[in-house]
Structure 1
Amino acid sequence: MASDGSPSRDTPEKQKRKKKQKQRVEDDEEGRSSDGAEVRLDDDDDDDADEEKRLEKFAEEDIQRLTAAGHAALQSGDNHAAVKHFRSAYSYASKLGTRRVSKTCALNLGAAYVEAGNAEKGLRVLQRQGSSGRVADLQFNLGTALEALADAMEFEEAVRSLLRAGESYSSSGNPTEAALALRDAGKVMLQCGRDSSEEILNVLTNSLELSMRITHSETRGRILNTLGLLFSQMSLSSEAVECFQQALPLLSGNTQTLAVVLQNLGATHNTLGEFQKALSYHKEAAQLYGSLGRRAAQGRCFSNLGFALMELAEIEEARESYTHSLLAFKDSVCEALGAIRLQMREPEKAVVHFQEALGLLSRCQDVSSSVQERLVNKLSEALQHKLILQQRKAVAQRRHSQRLPGAAMRRPDVLIGRREMMNSGGNTHDRNQVSTEFHSEEPEKEDYSNTLPEANRNLNNTHDETDTGQQVISSQPENGPGEPSVECGKQMNGTLPLVSGTVTPPPGRHKATPPQRTLKSRFCTVM
Structure 2
Amino acid sequence: MASLVKDFENRDVPALHCEIWKLAKAGREALGKDNYISALSLFKKAYLISCKLPDGPVQKACLFNLGGGYIAAGKAKKGLKCLTKCKQKAGNGKDPDLYFNIAIAYEGMKEYAKAVRFYGKALSQYKNDQADNIADTFIKMGYCSLNLEDSASASLSFQMAGLSYQQAGRPDDAAMALRESANYMIRNGNFSEVNVHQTLEKSREISKEIVDYRLKASVKRSTPSILSCFTFSFKKGKLLNDLGLHYAELKKFPEASECFAEAMNSCTGKGFSIRNKAVLLQNMGAIYSAIRQYEESLKYHTQAADTYGALGDRKAQGESLGNLAYAYSQLKMCKNAEFYYQEALKAFTDAGDEHRQWQMYEALGATHFSLGNRDQSIFCYKEALAKMEKTMDKSSICRKRITSKLMNVTEYQLAPQPFNARKQSS
TM normalised by structure 1 equals 0.48
Q: Could you list the per-position Cα deviations for residues 22-53 of structure 1 after superposition, in whole angstroms to 9, with x for gaps in the alignment?
A: xxxxxxxxxxxxxxxxxxxxxxxx99633123
The code of the aligned residue for 1:260 comes to V
Q: Could you list the per-position Cα deviations for residues 361-417 of structure 1 after superposition, in whole angstroms to 9, with x for gaps in the alignment?
A: xxxxxxxxxxxxxxxxxxxxxxxxxxxxxxxxxxxxxxxxxxxxxxxxxxxxxxxxx
The within-5 A match list for 1:300-319 is 300-319=319-338
Q: 2:277 & 2:82 partners in 1: Cα distance?
A: 45
SS in 2 for 1:83: coil
Deviates more, 1:228-237 or 1:302-311: 302-311
For residue 183 of structure 1, report the CA deviation from its aligned partner: 0.4
Q: 2:298 & 2:21 partners in 1: Cα distance?
A: 66
Q: Does 1:210 align with 2:206?
A: yes
Partner of 1:358: none
Query: Relative to structure 1, is the Cα distance of residues 113 and 301 closer, same or farther in structure 2, using a 3 angstrom cutoff?
Result: farther
The code of the aligned residue for 1:126 comes to Y
SS in 1 for 2:141: helix
Partner of 1:51: 16
Q: Does 1:260 align with 2:279?
A: yes
Query: Relative to structure 1, is the Cα distance of residues 126 and 284 closer, same or farther in structure 2, using a 3 angstrom cutoff?
Result: same
Partner of 2:370: none
Query: Relative to structure 1, is the Cα distance of residues 322 and 176 closer, same or farther in structure 2, using a 3 angstrom cutoff?
Result: same
SS in 1 for 2:210: coil
SS in 1 for 2:14: helix
SS in 2 for 1:297: helix
Query: Relative to structure 1, is the Cα distance of residues 303 and 119 closer, same or farther in structure 2, using a 3 angstrom cutoff?
Result: farther
Partner of 1:236: 252
1:247 aligned to 255, 260, 263, which one? Answer: 263
Question: Does the 8 Å contact 2:236/2:266 carry over to 1?
Answer: yes
For residue 233 of structure 1, report the CA deviation from its aligned partner: 0.3
Query: Relative to structure 1, is the Cα distance of residues 271 and 121 closer, same or farther in structure 2, using a 3 angstrom cutoff?
Result: same
SS in 1 for 2:206: helix
2:151 aligned to 134, 141, 155, which one? Answer: 155
Q: 2:313 & 2:340 partners in 1: Cα distance?
A: 16
Q: 2:85 & 2:28 partners in 1: Cα distance?
A: 11
Question: Does the 8 Å contact 2:145/2:154 carry over to 1?
Answer: yes
Q: 1:181 & 1:88 partners in 2: Cα distance?
A: 29
Q: 1:52 & 1:92 partners in 2: Cα distance?
A: 21
Query: Relative to structure 1, is the Cα distance of residues 333 and 94 closer, same or farther in structure 2, using a 3 angstrom cutoff?
Result: farther
SS in 1 for 2:251: coil
Partner of 1:219: 235
SS in 2 for 1:213: coil
Q: Could you list the per-position Cα deviations for residues 320-358 of structure 1 after superposition, in whole angstroms to 9, with x for gaps in the alignment?
A: 21112222223333699xxxxxxxxxxxxxxxxxxxxxx
Q: Which has the higher contact order (CA 8 A, sep 6+)?
A: 1
The within-5 A match list for 1:63-78 is 63-69=28-34
Question: Does the 8 Å contact 2:36/2:72 carry over to 1?
Answer: no
Question: Does the 8 Å contact 1:90/1:106 carry over to 2?
Answer: no
Q: Does 1:164 align with 2:160?
A: yes
Query: Relative to structure 1, is the Cα distance of residues 109 and 92 closer, same or farther in structure 2, using a 3 angstrom cutoff?
Result: closer
Q: Could you list the per-position Cα deviations for residues 195-252 of structure 1 after superposition, in whole angstroms to 9, with x for gaps in the alignment?
A: 1111111111000000011002321111010000000000111110011111112224
Partner of 2:222: none
Question: Does the 8 Å contact 2:315/2:351 carry over to 1?
Answer: yes
Question: Does the 8 Å contact 1:90/1:109 carry over to 2?
Answer: no
Q: Could you list the per-position Cα deviations for residues 3-27 of structure 1 after superposition, in whole angstroms to 9, with x for gaps in the alignment?
A: xxxxxxxxxxxxxxxxxxxxxxxxx
SS in 2 for 1:216: coil
For residue 141 of structure 1, report the CA deviation from its aligned partner: 1.2
Q: 1:257 & 1:465 partners in 2: Cα distance?
A: 33
Instruction: Please identify runs of 4+ aligned residues in structure 1 that moved more than 6 A.
Output: 96-100, 115-118, 464-468
Partner of 2:344: 325
Q: 1:48 & 1:106 partners in 2: Cα distance?
A: 29
1:126 aligned to 89, 107, 119, which one? Answer: 119
Q: Could you list the per-position Cα deviations for residues 467-517 of structure 1 after superposition, in whole angstroms to 9, with x for gaps in the alignment?
A: 99xxxxxxxxxxxxxxxxxxxxxxxxxxxxxxxxxxxxxxxxxxxxxxxxx
Partner of 1:62: 27
Q: Could you list the per-position Cα deviations for residues 39-94 of structure 1 after superposition, in whole angstroms to 9, with x for gaps in the alignment?
A: xxxxxxx996331232133124324423542899xxxxxxx974238965994897
Q: 2:196 & 2:212 partners in 1: Cα distance?
A: 26
The code of the aligned residue for 1:248 comes to M
Q: 1:180 & 1:188 partners in 2: Cα distance?
A: 13
Q: 1:105 & 1:290 partners in 2: Cα distance?
A: 53
Count of residues in Structure 1 that have an aligned counterpart in Structure 2: 289
Q: Does 1:197 align with 2:216?
A: no
Query: Relative to structure 1, is the Cα distance of residues 176 and 206 closer, same or farther in structure 2, using a 3 angstrom cutoff?
Result: same
Query: Relative to structure 1, is the Cα distance of residues 169 and 329 closer, same or farther in structure 2, using a 3 angstrom cutoff?
Result: same
Query: Relative to structure 1, is the Cα distance of residues 330 and 169 closer, same or farther in structure 2, using a 3 angstrom cutoff?
Result: same
Q: 1:208 & 1:254 partners in 2: Cα distance?
A: 23
For residue 272 of structure 1, report the CA deviation from its aligned partner: 1.1
Q: 1:53 & 1:254 partners in 2: Cα distance?
A: 51
Q: Could you list the per-position Cα deviations for residues 417-458 of structure 1 after superposition, in whole angstroms to 9, with x for gaps in the alignment?
A: xxxxxxxxxxxxxxxxxxxxxxxxxxxxxxxxxxxxxxxxx9
Query: Relative to structure 1, is the Cα distance of residues 115 and 203 closer, same or farther in structure 2, using a 3 angstrom cutoff?
Result: farther
Question: Does the 8 Å contact 1:93/1:105 carry over to 2?
Answer: no
Structure 2: unaligned runs, 5 residues or longer: 1-10, 38-70, 214-233, 356-391, 403-426
Partner of 1:296: 315
Query: Relative to structure 1, is the Cα distance of residues 111 and 265 closer, same or farther in structure 2, using a 3 angstrom cutoff?
Result: farther
The within-5 A match list for 1:121-520 is 122-123=115-116, 125-130=118-123, 131-132=125-126, 133=130, 134-150=133-149, 154-217=150-213, 218-252=234-268, 253-333=272-352
Q: 1:148 & 1:199 partners in 2: Cα distance?
A: 23
Query: Relative to structure 1, is the Cα distance of residues 145 and 303 closer, same or farther in structure 2, using a 3 angstrom cutoff?
Result: same
Query: Relative to structure 1, is the Cα distance of residues 277 and 90 closer, same or farther in structure 2, using a 3 angstrom cutoff?
Result: farther
SS in 2 for 1:305: helix
The code of the aligned residue for 2:321 comes to F
Deviates more, 1:321-330 or 1:168-177: 321-330
The code of the aligned residue for 2:164 comes to S
SS in 2 for 1:214: coil
TM normalised by structure 2 equals 0.58
Question: Does the 8 Å contact 2:97/2:122 carry over to 1?
Answer: no
What do you get for the CA RMSD once the two structures are aligned?
4.0
Q: 1:208 & 1:214 partners in 2: Cα distance?
A: 10
Question: Does the 8 Å contact 1:139/1:162 carry over to 2?
Answer: yes
Question: Does the 8 Å contact 1:299/1:326 carry over to 2?
Answer: yes
Q: 1:260 & 1:112 partners in 2: Cα distance?
A: 38
Percent of aligned pairs sharing the same letter:
28
SS in 1 for 2:209: coil
